Structure 1
Amino acid sequence: MKGYRTIILIVMVFLLAVGCSKKEEPSEVLNGYISNWENRDFHAMYEQLSEEVKSKITEEAFIERYDAIYDGIGAENLQITLRVDTEEELKSEGDLITIPYSVEMDTTAGSIEYSHRVTLEQDDEGAWLVKWNSSQIFPQLSKGDKVKVKTIEAERGELTDKNGTGLAINEEANVIGVIPGMLEEDADQTKEKLAELLGVSVEEIDKALDASWVTPEVFVPIKTLPMEEDDIEAYEELPGVSSRVEKVRTYPLGASAAHLTGYVREISAEQLEELDEYTAGDVIGNAGLEKIFEEKLRGENGTHIYISNADGDLKETLAKKEPVDGEDIQLTIDAALQQEIYEQFEGDAGTSVALDPNTGAVLSLVSSPAYNPNAFVRGLSGEQWEKWSEDPDEPFLNRFTSRYAPGSVFKTITASIGLETGVTNPEKVRQINGLHWTKDDSWGDYYVTRVHDKANVNLRDAFVHSDNIYFAQEALEMGKDTFLEEAAGFGFGEEIPFPFVIPASNLTNNGEIDSEAQLADTAYGQGQVMMSPLHLALTYTPYLNEGNMLYPSLVEEDEPEVWKENLIGKETANLVKENLIQVVESPEGTAHTTYIPGTVIGGKSGTAEIKQSKEDDNGNENGWFVGFEETDPEILLVMMVEDVKDRGGSGYVISKAKNIFEYIQQGSN
């Protein structure tokens, strides 16, 4: 290495030439010492030290210092090599022999290499011992110096919307803490006042102050202040209480995007046991995209290994690995739209998906009610946790990854199947009398119901009035095998490739339709049909893409993809689209209240009954609306609100959806 080579034999010959003791050759002592060193057998190393050295440092202190330093820097693959300069002769001075050596080791901050010399001393009995001092650990290390390891934190990557608006960002915040040594005699009173101001308990403050790393002069963080609080004067008036500015994870949209962004928290003991690449104090994504994109967002921390002097100042850097910041991820989400849709729910339990019908890019993913993800970063009180946990509307439930009975918004699929198979003729009129229909006595007391009593019903009428009986009869004419086979083509039973795990939608529980009554119910989105809101939105994309059904995308850099090319013919797609426009434009249409003069909107409303059994007449109802603006489609909107039975049914949802379309119109004007 660098003009030197290991030549133990030369050392042995030289040592023999100078007439060393015959008890144990210096070469043997030296090689044994190096072997013990490489194996980190510090007890055996201590045994080889001279009596003079031992009088200055105890075995316990010797071992502890090596262990503390090597463990602290993560020393591995320790290699010590004896070196002889071929241009110099080895020199001895009386009973002293000095041999050069080099050290290599791997650490958490990278490789450390250095060269130094070790001196052997012959005692009165002729034994060769090692004259050790602190510089044997590192040449720059003197008495009173310390080897320190500092983590250089990587900055977590940020999540932004399609316009660069922050969804999960790193923002400066005020952190309130305590300097223990500056607490005065009335420390208990100070802690009580601080606890009151911060909304924490005195026990929480004491726990922070009792941490093993705490010393009198250090700043001990207690709580990060909420985003809206920037007045720190009241805190700093308390003796021993101070503040500092730190960058913390911040979610500007708060609850509006809580289930989308998720949140980070300090890693738990349980997670540490499973994840070797993390250390105590690291933050980790615990929900939403923070968890899904954890590997990209977290980056890689750097490490600085250095020697500090007795005053704590930097003396010399031994190794330094710079941090690698996490990757920023730009989403297809529209932050303003996300917030607007969430606010339309006004705390109602429900969900919404909005996407660009031309590309499949997801513009919003809303679950209501929700929680404030900032609380998990800046301090979550037990009272708030209990309130969220016990809320019957389940604010922690992510509804846009759940499945629901779609009700009448499913009828577009039934119509498409009928038109594609030739069973449905848009001009054909069905004679239907009354609000109830049963095929024959084989159905027993089961019947299909509808809302509007219209005797002559064609496809347009069936859409405009959302006629369950019409679609049930069409499905029965198709037959269960044809219906199931064709409906499956819309992606039922298939996993949707998407960052969030979206459960596959299903038409039946067991892959079979067991009766004509079940087939009739399935035709209008009841029976055993269960769909995710995202999948439902995707099944409407063929009507705006000449029959092609799109894949969804959530990351801006992803290219648009067609999931089901030519799923239905252009003629079918256009015909269904025109009927959906009539649902809104016709004064008789079930979604006519969505009508906005000067704007062509198409859509379908639906009310899905949630019953515990077929005999249950008091089941709940979920209200649906799926809509789009036809002339220059920017958005395909799905909205669902739970428990609308006594609140106007799907009409309750339609009014919220209309507000969204008006908001979009205002933005485009």
Structure 2
Amino acid sequence: MKQRKLIFLFSVFLVLLFVLSACGQKPTAKDRMEEYVHAWQKQDFSKMYTLLSKSSQKRVSKADFIERYKRIYGNIEAGKLTARVQENKSKSDSVHVTATLATVAGPIKFSQNVAFKEEKQKDEKNLYLDWQPNLILPKMNAQSSVRVDTLPSTRGEIADRNGKPLAINGTAARIDLVPGKMGSDNDKTATIKQLTKLLGVSKEQIDQALSASWVKVDSLVPITTVDAAKTDLIKKAVALPGVVKTDVSSRVYPDKNASAHLTGYVGKMTAELLKQHKNEGYTANSVIGKTGLELLFEKQLRQHNGAEIKLLDSTGAEVATLAKKDPVDGHNVQLTIDRDVQDSLYDQLKKDAGTAVAIDPRNGDILGLVSAPSYNPNDFVLGISSSEYQKLSNDQQQPLRNRFTAASAPGSTFKPLTAALALTHKAINPDTKVAINGSKWQASSSWGDYYVTRVNHDAKVNLETALFKSDNIYFAQTALKIGGTAFASDAKKFGFGESLPIEFPMRKSTISNSGKLNDQGLLANTGYGQGQVSVTPLHLSLIYSALVNDGSMIKPRLVKTNDAPTFWKKNVMSADTAQLLNKDLIQVVANPSGTAHDAQINGITLAGKTGTPEFKQKQGESGRENGWFTAYNTDDPKLLVTMIVENTQKKGGSHYVTPKVKKVFEQVLKK
């Protein structure tokens, strides 16, 4: 037993002796190189310097070592470093390092031997690295320098269906000053004063630019950049002493205000955006989409500049190319938009606040998306002044607001949907004339002082008359016949409560705030597009597309494609119902008593529906009204327009809108 204990204790002693011996072993060259690599990966240049041999530290000071690494690695945008250290079997004081350093121009690869020296530093004997400049970058020596060349690329462009430009890479006009050509002090003062008026640039900004340390008498001193299309402004500016124009590359929006909310605009990268897009290849000098399609299609449109890292000798001559990444241009995007349609819509709206959407109801191609009033996106690209931006922001008509993405009460333009639901549920007979007494009605006395009112006073009304005369009472009663549960449920079949299947994000249309219609008054008001109904102009257009597609709603398309059109919602109504409603809506325009008779065009048969939703605090009081009109041509239908103009209460409601839509059809279909 004692012998076993002795053997056990002896074994424990040997293990402890081995451990203590191992703990006392000095780090190998591989260990020390891995320590250096660990600091290198973190770009801890100060730590790296402590691992250098005395002779290496004598060749380069700590300050120079750190500064050179920081400057070079900053210029090449050095990123992740991966490395492998292998022992050199023939030389214990040497290792072989293979490493890859990520840079702006792609990976740079190292493959070299690194020698170590055993020496005493700070009372500690250890192995220290015999550092050479080729550990900054391969092939470098003490006299080498590095140059990074940017290989430029171009951002993808946006065009309409016919190739007409909407967002392109063009030029802008930079307004420069040449100090030596500005004349006397009085002339300089007068020129600066004139420029502040013309360009909206402050005197302080111009003075600061002229007083920069690099400025000489013959220098071109940039003051601001303006839209090259502003020829009159540029002409007045360059007529001043010392003022010259320089063409510079810029994103250009040829359709200006007409397509501003659609295209959006690009802008310079900000610190906040750079943080949001970390590790996506952007730099502080990048341009990025800020709004509209420029933002939505950023991944397709964005360019990727290439780069080349050159190693130079002491004379500045190129010695080697360390890394090269080819530039990649952005992809062009061709839309279904027709710029002629876009411009026609905008021309009708530019003096008002409103929106318009145009589609081809046969294939879903979106031909126009307009919001008014608008702004010039070129001003934002070039750097809009704070005073101009404040002017836009404080404008009561909200030119920066995108109205075609918003949803609001559609008024009587909603009545064809109510009719479709009623016919589907057989809640009405379209030929039956319903007796309606007077111009106001309520379902029961529980409504108190509230009544549904109508403009016409027909004693008996059928579906056709109710549509072309826009009888609110008929459709309020029809909604009650359908029932709240069925109405709300069937509205979902038309896409209410869903996002539209389109790249451009738009507000969801809703049948009510809760999605239910369990209140009698709310249901009645919903029947003629009031209550809490809210719909986007594009969604309403898609609902109307069912009238020319045998009862199915077309799926919208914004990007041009050769693919066959598809339906978003199939069979939302029967083909017979679609045909019947189509016939009745023709009377809205063709019948002399129709609410859109003033939109009638010789040679073109239009069908459609007007709407004048009211926004009033109390019934009987005057209040805000919007004018709506949705119309399409019935013979070979290829254009469907929904237009909304805000605040038409003193302009005739929807009658202010119908001539505008008529003009669009005349311009587009008769060209």
Q: TM-score range by the shorter chain?
A: 0.7 to 0.9
Structure 1 residue aligned with 2:582: 577
Task: Find the aligned partners of 1:123 and 1:541 in 2 and give their Cα distance.
Answer: 86
Aligned with 2:106 (options 91, 105, 110): 110
Deviation at 1:629, TM superposition (A): 0.5
Deviation at 1:479, TM superposition (A): 2.8
Structure 1 residue aligned with 2:566: 561
Task: Find the aligned partners of 2:486 and 2:109 in 1 and give their Cα distance.
Answer: 74
Is the contact made by 2:161 and 2:337 (CA closer than 8 Å) also made in structure 1? yes
Deviation at 1:327, TM superposition (A): 1.8
Q: Which moved more, 1:262-271 or 1:486-495?
A: 486-495
Residues 488 and 50 of structure 1: CA distance in aligned 2, closer, same or farther (over 3 Å): closer
Task: Find the aligned partners of 2:290 and 2:134 in 1 and give their Cα distance.
Answer: 46
Instruction: Give the percent of matched residue pairs that are identical in Structure 1 and Structure 2.
Output: 42
Equivalent position amino acid for 2:385 in 1: S
Residues 529 and 420 of structure 1: CA distance in aligned 2, closer, same or farther (over 3 Å): same
Question: What secondary structure sits across from 2:107 in the alignment?
Answer: strand
Residues 119 and 503 of structure 1: CA distance in aligned 2, closer, same or farther (over 3 Å): closer
Deviation at 1:351, TM superposition (A): 0.8
Instruction: Write out per-residue CA displacement over residues 246-296 of structure 1, whole angstroms, 9 at most, x where no aligned residue.
Output: 331111111111111111111222222222023212222111111111122
Alignment of 1:276-315 (within 5 A): 276=278, 277=280, 278-308=282-312, 314-315=318-319
Task: Find the aligned partners of 2:262 and 2:54 in 1 and give their Cα distance.
Answer: 67
Is the contact made by 2:413 and 2:629 (CA closer than 8 Å) also made in structure 1? yes
Q: Which moved more, 1:524-533 or 1:201-210?
A: 201-210
Task: Find the aligned partners of 2:238 and 2:313 in 1 and give their Cα distance.
Answer: 34
Structure 1 residue 167 corresponds to structure 2 residue 166: yes
Residues 568 and 273 of structure 1: CA distance in aligned 2, closer, same or farther (over 3 Å): same
Structure 1 residue aligned with 2:226: 225
Structure 1 residue aligned with 2:39: 39
Task: Find the aligned partners of 2:215 and 2:67 in 1 and give their Cα distance.
Answer: 21
Is the contact made by 1:194 and 1:235 (CA closer than 8 Å) also made in structure 2? no
Question: What secondary structure sits across from 1:411 in the alignment?
Answer: helix
Residues 102 and 574 of structure 1: CA distance in aligned 2, closer, same or farther (over 3 Å): closer
Residues 510 and 80 of structure 1: CA distance in aligned 2, closer, same or farther (over 3 Å): closer
Structure 1 residue 366 corresponds to structure 2 residue 379: no
Task: Find the aligned partners of 1:544 and 1:473 in 2 and give their Cα distance.
Answer: 27
Deviation at 1:605, TM superposition (A): 0.8
Alignment of 1:310-459 (within 5 A): 314-459=318-463
Structure-1-length-normalised TM-score = 0.84
Deviation at 1:205, TM superposition (A): 5.1
Q: Which moved more, 1:272-281 or 1:119-128?
A: 119-128
Question: What secondary structure sits across from 2:163 in the alignment?
Answer: coil
Deviation at 1:345, TM superposition (A): 0.9
Residues 33 and 547 of structure 1: CA distance in aligned 2, closer, same or farther (over 3 Å): closer
Structure 2 residue aligned with 1:478: 482
Task: Find the aligned partners of 2:183 and 2:335 in 1 and give their Cα distance.
Answer: 51
Task: Find the aligned partners of 2:129 and 2:178 in 1 and give their Cα distance.
Answer: 45
Structure 1 residue aligned with 2:67: 64
Task: Find the aligned partners of 2:365 and 2:176 in 1 and give their Cα distance.
Answer: 44
Structure 1 residue aligned with 2:607: 602
Equivalent position amino acid for 1:553 in 2: R
Instruction: Write out per-residue CA displacement over residues 74-95 of structure 1, whole angstroms, 9 at most, x where no aligned residue.
Output: 14325376798x9xx99xxxxx
The unaligned stretches of length 5 or more in structure 2 are: 1-24
Is the contact made by 1:351 and 1:640 (CA closer than 8 Å) also made in structure 2? yes
Deviation at 1:469, TM superposition (A): 1.6
Q: Which moved more, 1:256-265 or 1:47-56?
A: 47-56
Structure 1 residue aligned with 2:472: 468
Task: Find the aligned partners of 1:658 and 1:246 in 2 and give their Cα distance.
Answer: 42
Structure-2-length-normalised TM-score = 0.84
Task: Find the aligned partners of 1:130 and 1:367 in 2 and give their Cα distance.
Answer: 67
Task: Find the aligned partners of 1:585 and 1:233 in 2 and give their Cα distance.
Answer: 54
Task: Find the aligned partners of 1:134 and 1:220 in 2 and give their Cα distance.
Answer: 40
The unaligned stretches of length 5 or more in structure 1 are: 1-23, 91-96
Deviation at 1:144, TM superposition (A): 5.2
Question: What secondary structure sits across from 1:529 in the alignment?
Answer: coil
Question: What secondary structure sits across from 2:458 in the alignment?
Answer: coil
Residues 483 and 29 of structure 1: CA distance in aligned 2, closer, same or farther (over 3 Å): closer
Residues 100 and 185 of structure 1: CA distance in aligned 2, closer, same or farther (over 3 Å): farther
Task: Find the aligned partners of 1:102 and 1:236 in 2 and give their Cα distance.
Answer: 63
Alignment of 1:118-157 (within 5 A): 134-135=133-134, 137-138=136-137, 140-141=139-140, 145-157=144-156
Alignment size in residue pairs:
631
Question: What secondary structure sits across from 1:79 in the alignment?
Answer: strand
Task: Find the aligned partners of 2:49 and 2:448 in 1 and give their Cα distance.
Answer: 94
Structure 2 residue aligned with 1:253: 255
Residues 573 and 236 of structure 1: CA distance in aligned 2, closer, same or farther (over 3 Å): same
Deviation at 1:428, TM superposition (A): 0.8
Task: Find the aligned partners of 2:543 and 2:29 in 1 and give their Cα distance.
Answer: 80
Equivalent position amino acid for 1:564 in 2: K
Task: Find the aligned partners of 2:158 and 2:196 in 1 and give their Cα distance.
Answer: 33
Alignment of 1:74-113 (within 5 A): 74-79=78-83, 104-113=100-109
Residues 439 and 598 of structure 1: CA distance in aligned 2, closer, same or farther (over 3 Å): same
Root-mean-square deviation over aligned CA pairs: 3.8
